[in-house]
C-alpha cells in the first residue's frame, strides 16, 4: 500500500523526517516561517525533491488553493500551539493575533475538500483542558462532523526513549465511511534507556532533561524557569543545538540555522521524532489491516 501524507505547519520537518523513516512519502508541505523553510529545504530537498521541483512547498496556508494539493492518505500537522497554550494567554479560538486561532479551521477546510483517509495532529498538553475542555470538544466535534473517528492521548517524549518530558496531545482519526468504527490504538511506551549523560557525552546530574522551549534561555540553574542549563562533568553548561537535536530525536547532521538562538527556537517548536515515528507505525498498520 502506498502511504502518502501532507505536512502542514511543517516547521523544520519533524513529521516529514519521522514518517519518511517508516516508508511514507510526503507529497505536500506548508510552512510560513522563513528560517524554518530554509532548514526544511536544506534537509529534505535530496530526500523528497518533488516538493521543491514542483512547487509543492507552500508558504501561506491562508492563500492555499486545495486543488493544488496532490491526492494523499494522511493529513499531518503540529498546528500552532500559541492560541491554546498558557504562553499564548489561553484565548483559544478567540485568538486574534495574526489569525492564529483560525489555523485549525484551515485543517478542516483541507479535510473537507480532499477527504484523506486519516489525520495525525499534535498540540500542547494544555489543549485538552483549555477553557474547561470547550476548545478540545470543538476540535473533536468538528472532525467528527466531517465523518472522522477521533482518538487522542497525551504522550511524553520519555515514553519513547527521548530524555525530556515534553508531554503533548496527539490526535488521530480516520474516515469512517472507509474504515468504519474499527478502534485505533496508540503504541505502548518503551523503556527509557537514553539519559542526558548520553546526550552530553559526559556525566550529567540529570537523567531526564527539561522540555525544550522556544524562549527564556539563560536563567540560573537554580531558577525554576531554567530549562537549558545543566551540570555536566561538574561544570555548568548550556544546551547547544546539537544536544537539542538529540533530545528531539533528530540526527546530529540535521541542518538548522547558522544562528544558535534561531536553531534553539526551531527545535523548541518541533516535535519529538520517536513519538511521531511510533504513532506513525500504528497508523500504517491500521490502514493496511483495515484495507484488506
What's the pLDDT at 2? 79
DSSP 156-168: -GGGGT-SB---E
Task: Give the residue extent of every domain in the chain.
Answer: 4-190+267-290, 196-259
Grid cell of 106 as nine digits: 484551515
Query: What single DSSP character describes residue 68?
Result: G
Averaged pLDDT, groups of 10, the chain, 292 residues long:
92 98 98 98 97 97 94 94 49 47 85 97 92 90 96 98 97 96 96 98 98 92 95 98 98 98 96 98 93 59
Q: Rounded CA gap, 264 and 143, in Å?
A: 33
- The catalytic site residues sit at 81
User: CA-to-CA distance for 272 and 279, rounded, in angstroms?
Assistant: 11
Fold exhibited by the domain 4-190+267-290: Rossmann fold (3.40.50)
Neighbours of 150 (CB within 10 A): 16
pTM above 0.85, yes or no: yes
What is the model's pLDDT at position 220?
94
Task: Work out the angle at residue 20's Cα, subtended by the Cα atoms of residues 160 and 261, and round it to the nearest 5 degrees.
Answer: 70
Distance CA 283, CA 172 (A): 8
Can you tell me the distance from the alpha carbon of 179 to that of 147, in angstroms, rounded to the nearest whole number?
A: 11
Asked whether 170 and 152 are in contact (CB, 8 A), the reply is yes
Amino acid at each position: 500500500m502506498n502511504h502518502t501524507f501532507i505536512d502542514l505547519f511543517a516547521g523544520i520537518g519533524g513529521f516529514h523526517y519521522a514518517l519518511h523513516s517508516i516508508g511514507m512519502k510526503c507529497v505536500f508541505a506548508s510552512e510560513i516561517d522563513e528560517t524554518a523553510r530554509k532548514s526544511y529545504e536544506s534537509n529534505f530537498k535530496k530526500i523528497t525533491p518533488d516538493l521543491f521541483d514542483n512547487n509543492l512547498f507552500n508558504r501561506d496556508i491562508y492563500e492555499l488553493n486545495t486543488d493544488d494539493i496532490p491526492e494523499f492518505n494522511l493529513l499531518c500537522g503540529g498546528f500552532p500551539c500559541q492560541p491554546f497554550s498558557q504562553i499564548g494567554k489561553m484565548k483559544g479560538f478567540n485568538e486574534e493575533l495574526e489569525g492564529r486561532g483560525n489555523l485549525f479551521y484551515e485543517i478542516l477546510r483541507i479535510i473537507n475538500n480532499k477527504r484523506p483517509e486519516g489525520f495525525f495532529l499534535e498540540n500542547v498538553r494544555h489543549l485538552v483542558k483549555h477553557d474547561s475542555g470547550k476548545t478540545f470538544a470543538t476540535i473533536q466535534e468538528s472532525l467528527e462532523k466531517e465523518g472522522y473517528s477521533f482518538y487522542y492521548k497525551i504522550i511524553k517524549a520519555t515514553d519513547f526513549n527521548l530524555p525530556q518530558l515534553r508531554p503533548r496531545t496527539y490526535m488521530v482519526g480516520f474516515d469512517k465511511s472507509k474504515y468504519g468504527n474499527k478502534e485505533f490504538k496508540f503504541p505502548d511506551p518503551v523503556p527509557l534507556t537514553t539519559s542526558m549523560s548520553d546526550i552530553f557525552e559526559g556525566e550529567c546530574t540529570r537523567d531526564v532533561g527539561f522540555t525544550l522551549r522556544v524562549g527564556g534561555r539563560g536563567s540560573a540553574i537554580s531558577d525554576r524557569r531554567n530549562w537549558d542549563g545543566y551540570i555536566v562533568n561538574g561544570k555548568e553548561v548550556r544546551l547547544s543545538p546539537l544536544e537539542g537535536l538529540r533530545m528531539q530525536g533528530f540526527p546530529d547532521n540535521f541542518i538548522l540555522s547558522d544562528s544558535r538562538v534561531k536553531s534553539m527556537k526551531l527545535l523548541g517548536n518541533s516535535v519529538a521524532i520517536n513519538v511521531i515515528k511510533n504513532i506513525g507505525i500504528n497508523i500504517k498498520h491500521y490502514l493496511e489491516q483495515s484495507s484488506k
